[in-house]
Amino acid sequence: MEEQKQPVALESSAPVIGPGHSFATVTDKISAIVLTRPTSTGWFVGFGVAFLLTMMMLFAIGYLFVRGTGIWGITIPIGWGFAIVNFVWWIGIGHAGTLISAILLLLRQSWRNSINRFAEAMTLFAVSAAGIFPLIHVGRPWLAYWLFPYPNTMNYWPQFRSPLVWDVFAVSTYFTISLLFWFVGLVPDLATLRDRSQSRPAQIIYGMLALGWRGSARHWHRYETAYLLLAGLATPLVLSVHTVVSFDFAVGIVPGWHTTIFPPYFVAGAIYSGFAMVLMLAIPIRKLYGLEDFITERHLQNSAKVMLATGLIVAYGYAIEAFMGWYSGNRYDAFTLWNRLHGPYAIPYWALLICNIFVPQVLWIRKLRTSPPALFLISGVILVGMWLERFIIVVVSLHRDFLTSSWGMYYPTRWDWMTYIGTIGMFLAAMFLFVRILPMISIFEMRTLLPEAEVKPE
């Protein structure tokens, strides 16, 4: 991750927190969003829409269970369609949170403090959205638990040579660790809310969640150690998850899958889309809740730089893929390359190149890096691009493999779309709830950023 270290380090001019803030103001401003501020109608509308989309997803899944995966566009040879595309896409998005919290923490990037909280939440929700797909995409979803090793009367176990089993472990581990990390980070702030909230129920609930935190020096000491250790563990983990996901393809022998470049460029791609999503959330939130003091230009800039860097890694990945297709002299790989450029799915492929490689280059321009609307737009483009990338890898590789006789085409059905858009709704609904009931910025970590937090030697 050297790449994003540099841009971050370069930038020291812009402040990470607005001027004129004290412990009290920081605490009040952030906790007020949850405790005192009235819930805006905008929130209700937004949540309502997201909720309806979630319901649509549940309906699509219900129908899927009744009729079978045949309601989707998948077929032979394209055995994997939207489900896997969306799975990889969401998992990728889910990388930013832990990355920001863990890696930037280890790198002592204090600017992370104001965005790590909701980035982590975003991670949890993205991973949950991703987690739905592997479960429902199987032909007999009610037996999906057979992928977990558990003692059973069949005396039979999962087949540990299969990348899908690796996935199960990687994703569930990632979710668990991210959850712990997020919750541990929340505890002191929950204590703050406990002590700030006026209503009894709120006090009780937050109190329970705060586990009776009282900020004792001993506790803080162990807490810090654990938090640091967790960050240390999460760092290799976050790098491993998308590596493992990329194994789903790299281990296969399908031309377009069977390549060693996948792990690094999957990870880069994940962070790429992850930061894009962070920005897409951060930019509106800071505006709506007036948090410009905490999520400053600097945060936006740094995120943009991370995207720029990872975007270049991804571009490198594409280049190598193309190069190997030509250089290997393998007639199947060569055709896969040709098919991407000229085949029936050429348009999505070119669109992918535009979204992921060409458009983001404008981030070299400082003016755009610092303009929220521009960043918001570019992030959207990148998210689309990354989805297309997964579509190209999954569908376009499969639809024309070795035997020309069994080439096919893939056409998603309305159920594919409903499920996909539904998960976006679910993700947003969760985000809406989060910003409403939990401090979306780590209060205690913000306090440490204030000058008065310095302990002056006597």
Partner 1 sequence: MKHTPIYGLMAEFDSASELVAAARQTHAAGYSKIDAYSPFPVEELAEAIGFHRNGVPLVTLIGGLLGGLSGYLLQWWIATVSYPVNVGGKPYHSWPSFIVVTFEMTILFAGIFAVFGMLALNGLPMPYHPVFNVARFAFATKDRFFLIIFSSDPRYSSVETRRFLESLGPRSISEVPS
Partner 2 sequence: MTIEEQNGKQRREDVCPGKKNQLDLDTARARIAETKGPEFWRSLEELAGSSEFQEMMHREFPKGASEWLDAVSRRGFLKLMGASLAMAGMTACTKQPLEPIVPYVRQPEETVPGRPLFYATAFTLGGYATPMLVESHLYRPTKIEGNDKHPASLGGTDVFAQASILEMYDPDRSQTITYLGDVRTWGDFLKSIRGPLNAQKAVQGSGIRILTRTVSSPAQADQLQSVLKLYPQAKWHVYEPINRDNVYAGAQMAFGEPVETQYKLENADVIVSLDADFLSAGFAGNVRYIRDFAKRRDPDSGNMNRLYVAESTPSSTGAKADHRLPVRAVDIEAFARDLRRIWESKSDFVALAGPGSGAAWAHKHEYLEMVSAVAEDLKAHSGSSVIIVGDHQPPVVHALAHAMNQALGNVGKTVIYTPPVDANPVNQTESLKNLVADMRAGKVDMLFILGGNPAYDAPADFGLADALKNTNIPVRVHLGLYQDETAELCQWHLNEAHYLEAWGDARAYDGTVSIVQPLIAPLYGGKSIYEMVALLAGQPETSGHEIVQGYWKKQHPGADFDAFWRKSLHDGWIENTAFQPKQVSLKPVQIPDYAASDAKSIEINFRRDPSVYDGRFSNNGWLQELPKPMSKMAWDNPVLVGPAMAERMGLRSEDLIELELNGKKLTAPVWIQAGHPDNSVTVFLGYGRRRAGRAGTGAGFDMYPLRYNATPWFTTGVAVTKAGGTYKLATTQGYQTMDTPEGARPLVRTASLDEYHKEPDFAREDEPPAELTLYKPYPYKEEPYAWGMTIDLNSCVGCNNCIVACQSENNIPVVGKEQCVIGRHMHWLRVDAYYQGDRDNPKAYFQPVPCMQCENAPCEVVCPVGATVHSTEGLNDMVYNRCVGTRYCSNNCPYKVRRFNFLLFQDWETPQYKMMRNPDVTVRSRGVMEKCTYCVQRINHRRIDAEREDRKIQDTELQTACQQSCPANAIVFGNINDPESRVSKLKAKARNYSLLGDLNTRPRTTYLAEIRNPNPELET
Q: Which does 74 bind (CB under 5 to 8 A by kind): partner 1, partner 2, none?
A: partner 2
Q: What are the residues whose beta carbons fall under 8 Å from the beta carbon of 434, sequence distance 6 or more?
A: 118, 121, 125, 440
d(CA 196, CA 190): 10
Residue 149's binding partner among partner 2, partner 1, none (Cβ under 5 to 8 angstroms by kind) is: partner 1
Q: Which tokens sit at 281?
A: 């959330």
How far separated are the first and last CA of the chain, in Å rounded? Answer: 39
> C-alpha distances in angstroms, 264 versus 246, 259, 318?
9, 11, 12
Binding characters for partner 2, 311-350, by CB under 8 A (x = yes): --------------------x--xx--x---x--------
- Of 193, 205, 189, the C-alpha closest to 441 is 189
Q: Which does 48 bind (CB under 5 to 8 A by kind): partner 2, partner 1, none?
A: none
C-alpha span between 205 and 193 (Å, rounded): 10
Judged by CB under 8 A, the residue of 107, 138, 164, 165 near partner 1 is 165
205 binds partner 1 (CB under 8 A): no
Q: Of 10 and 409, which CB lies nearer to partner 2 in the complex structure?
A: 409
Amino acid at 287: K
In the complex, least distance from residue 443 CB atom to partner 1, rounded to whole angstroms: 8
Least distance CB 160 / partner 1 (angstroms): 5
**Contact pattern for partner 2 over residues 424 through 453, marking x by CB under 8 A:** ------------------------------
- Assess 289 for contact with partner 2 (CB under 8 A): no
Q: Residue 433: which of 130, 39, 97 has the closest Cα?
A: 39
Q: Which of residues 110-149 bind partner 1 (CB under 8 A)?
A: 149
Nearer to partner 2, 87 or 434 (CB): 87
Q: Near partner 2 by CB under 8 A, which window of 111-119, 215-223, 237-245, 402-410? A: 402-410
Residues 111-150 that bind partner 2 (CB under 8 A): 137-140, 143-144, 146-147
Stretch of 43-51, 93-101, 169-177, 258-266 lying at the interface with partner 1 (CB under 8 A) = 169-177
Distances (CA, A) of 133 to 97, 390, 409, 420: 20, 14, 22, 9
401 in contact with partner 2 (CB under 8 A):
yes
Binders of partner 1 in range 219-248 (CB under 8 A): 219-226, 229-230, 233-234, 236-237, 240, 244, 247
Rounded to whole angstroms, the Cα distance separating 458 from 446 reads 25
The binder of partner 2 chosen from 75, 128, 173, 371 (CB under 8 A): 75
Residues 6+ apart with CB under 8 A from 301: 11, 14, 366, 369, 370
* CA–CA separation, 338 and 165 (whole Å): 33
One-letter amino acid for residue 371 of the chain: S
54: CB partners within 8 A, 6+ apart: 422, 425, 426, 429
Contact criterion met (CB below 8 Å) for 291 and 109: no
Considering CB under 8 A, how many residues would be counted as binding partner 2?
53
Q: Does 200 bind partner 1 (CB under 8 A)?
A: no
Q: Does 404 bind partner 2 (CB under 8 A)?
A: yes
Q: How far is the CB of 438 from partner 1 (least distance, A)?
A: 15
Nearest to 88, CA basis, from 242, 268, 236, 234: 242
Size of the site for partner 1 (CB under 8 A): 67
> Binding residues for partner 2, per CB under 8 A?
67-71, 73-77, 79-80, 137-140, 143-144, 146-147, 154, 156-159, 161-165, 168, 248, 251-254, 331, 334-335, 338, 342, 398, 400-409, 411
